[in-house]
Every structure is written in C-alpha cells, then in structure tokens.
Structure 1
Amino acid sequence: MTDHSTAPDPAVMEFLLSRRSRPAKLLQGPAPDRAALAPLLTAAARTPDHGKLVPWRFVVLEAAALRRLGALVAERGAALGRSQEDIAKARACYDSSPLAVAVIEAPKPSDKIPEIEQTYSAGAVCLALLNAALASGWGANWLTGWPVFDRTLVETGLGLGPSERVAGVIHIGTAQTAPPDRPRPDLDEITTWMDQ
C-alpha cells in the first residue's frame, strides 16, 4: 500500500472539490453487493477516532429490511399523529432505496474522550462512507428524517441500544442522472484568517 501522507494526490483533491451527492429518490438498482460494499465500509471505518473507541457501528439495510422499515415508518408515523404527507415522504426513502447503511453512534464510556467527540467521529464516518461510495462510482446520499429520531422505531426496527443513536442513513445505488450543482458557501463569508 502506498503512503499518501505527504505526496500530493491531485485526483483525490479534484474529487473532493467536485463531489456531489445524488438525491436518494433518484437512486435505483443495482446497488453494491456485500463484496463491493466491504471496501466502502472499510474506508469509512478509517475515520478519525480519538482514543480508538470505535464509537459507531454499521447496520446494512438490504431490500427486505428496507421494506420492513418502510412499513414501520408508516405505522409509527400514524401512531405519532404525523401528516400523511410526512409519512409518505419518509416511507418513500426506505421503500424506493436499493440499499442503505445506517451509521449508528454507539458512545463508549471514557474518562479522556468526551461524548461530543464520539458524536463528531460518527458524523465523520457518515461523510467518509458517502465519499467512498461516490468515489467508487455509486450514487449516494446521507439522510436522516424524523423516523431516525423516534426511539421506538430505531430500537424496534434497527435494534439500537438505549445509548445509541442514528448518525445518518447513507443510501447507495445507481443514479442515472446527476442534478445540477447547488450553490456553495461563499468562502470569504465563512472564513476568518488570524495571523497573530
């Protein structure tokens, strides 16, 4: 394996400067099979992780699991009194997705690493997985939505423990078209330079 720690890699930089998520509603099959997904998960697991706590895990949602979750979203949405529009929109994310990976924040007790840093690490895993999928030629999108914040749904549907949360659901598949790029932040407005 090549050590890229000091050598410039223009191709990677070009990817990062032009990366673009694909809307989940445009994703369809085929999706990566288990063999193709393994290197994407491996890349995501290389995220910064202070203290080597591994405060996250993956739940891979294949077709049957996604449809089961879609039905559970409809059931929970009705129980919570959500509008039919909210329920239909949330359910469609699961019913139409060819594959998704739920990144689960699983904080570990630590005297040295605050829980907020573990939360940040789980978020970094989401972005790393998203970028690994895009760099591998797949369409991908990072979503959450009200279902992942419902404790009954995530504990029943995803098997989460009491201290675990969904950091993101990364939908992965094939995107036939790429939407136009969206406006990006003005670097001058969001950057402060300090020279002393």
Structure 2
Amino acid sequence: MNALELLLNRHSCPRLAEPAPAGEQLDTIFKAGLRAPDHATLTPWEFIVFTGEQRDRLGEILAAAAEARGEAPEAVDKARKAPLRAPMVIAVAAKVKPHDKVPALEQQLSAGCALMAMQMAAQAQGFNGIWRSGWFIFDRSIHDGLGLDEQDQLVGFLYLGTPLVEVRKLPERDPAQFVRYFE
C-alpha cells in the first residue's frame, strides 16, 4: 500500500490482540512520529509505552482518576480495564516548551500529528490501532501519575496491536462539502 492509499483508507480498529509492534517495527513507528511538523525544532513530544503488566499500572491510574471524579463503580472498573483492550498503549504528550513564536497550542497540535503518523506507520506495517482521548487526557491526576509537568498536555492514547476484526470501510465524503475557496 502506498502512502496515498494509506491516507485515503485510514481507519481505526478497536479490537486488537497480540502481537504488538516490536523491535524494528516499533522503532519505525517512533521514527514516523518524530517526523511530525515541528516549528522551531522544539521536538515537543514524549511517547510513554505500556505493555504487559505496565498496562495494569496505567489502568490503576485511570481508575483512581475516575473514582476521584465521582464516577459510578462500573465506570471506574471500565477505566481500570481500558488499557487491556490492546497489547500496547502509547500515551502521547505534548512537552510544551516556552517559545516566543511557538505557542502551546501549536506544540500540542504537533504532538497530535506525531500520534497520527505513528498510527499510520503501524497500519502500513500490518498492525492497527485506535487513538483514544476523552476526559482522561485533561485530568491532571493522570498527568501526575504519568510524570508529566504542569505545562504538558496529553493528546491521546494510541492503542496498538494486530487487528482481530476486518474494519468497516469508512464512508466516502465529498470534499466539496468541506471546502470553501475564499473570494
């Protein structure tokens, strides 16, 4: 599959199993993420990898945050089990650095681009994944549990593995419905 086919057929897969990418495949995924647009070459990203029992530790961090929010016991349990939906979870954080010309939002967008590039690199190698976010990425106790600094911002969790199901083809969209030429 060439790059254009990959982009035009991008899709997420929520049902993932072993094996997860490893070795050279995983290194390629990280290298793709490191090619994201990066104004002023700030490299404002950090990739935190969870596999095996580390996913349980992430689940405990998520569950504690859900409990602190007053979530129902079912939601706390769901948060605890969330990282077990894939053999690998990569938390992607924007490591925001003070800069006169590159505001925090631009650095966060850069980290988001890194996450998508990593997902595409995984898919290009026969793996798949899903970008998960929700309230988890904004919760400061989760940031603290992951060792992030106050100015840092999670942009998502990339769940990776081997697809268990054939993913449904996404509907075709007419670009004319989303494009406007300025007059």
TM surpasses 0.5 = yes
Q: Is the 8 A contact 2:12 2:167 kept in 1?
A: no
Instruction: Structure 1: state its 5+ residue gaps.
Output: 1-9
- In the alignment, residue 82 of structure 1 is paired with which amino acid? E
- In the alignment, residue 109 of structure 1 is paired with which amino acid? P
Aligned match of 2:167: 179
Instruction: Structure 2: state its 5+ residue gaps.
Output: none
* Residue of 50, 60, 65 corresponding to 1:71: 60
Aligned match of 1:191: 179
| Partner secondary structure for residue 61 of structure 1 | strand
* Residue of 156, 163, 166 corresponding to 2:154: 166
| Identity across the alignment (%) | 34
Aligned match of 2:36: 47
Aligned match of 2:81: 92
Aligned match of 1:19: 10
Which region of structure 1 is more displaced relative to structure 2, 175-184 or 108-117? 175-184
Q: Is the 8 A contact 1:143 1:170 kept in 2?
A: yes
TM superposition score normalised by structure 1: 0.85
Q: Deviations over 1:2-32 (max 9, x none)?
A: xxxxxxxx82211211121111xx1111111
Q: Is the 8 A contact 2:47 2:91 kept in 1?
A: yes
Aligned match of 1:29: 18
Return the alpha-carbon distance in structure 2 between the equivalents of residues 34 and 97 of structure 1: 18
Q: Deviations over 1:54-103 (max 9, x none)?
A: 11111111222111111222232222211234333333321232001111
| Partner secondary structure for residue 163 of structure 1 | coil
Aligned match of 1:125: 114
RMSD: 1.8
Return the alpha-carbon distance in structure 2 between the equivalents of residues 11 and 55 of structure 1: 28
Q: Deviations over 1:99-150 (max 9, x none)?
A: 0111111111111222221121111111111111111110111111222322
Which region of structure 1 is more displaced relative to structure 2, 81-90 or 119-128? 81-90
Which region of structure 1 is more displaced relative to structure 2, 160-169 or 85-94? 85-94
Return the alpha-carbon distance in structure 1 between the equivalents of residues 6 and 65 of structure 2: 39
Structure 1 residues 186 and 92, CA, compared in 2 at 3 Å: closer, same or farther?
farther
Q: Is the 8 A contact 1:21 1:134 kept in 2?
A: no
Aligned residues: 183
| Partner secondary structure for residue 59 of structure 1 | strand
| Partner secondary structure for residue 162 of structure 2 | strand
Aligned match of 1:5: none
Q: Deviations over 1:131-177 (max 9, x none)?
A: 11111110111111222322112212x11111111111111101122
| Partner secondary structure for residue 53 of structure 2 | helix
Higher Rg: 1
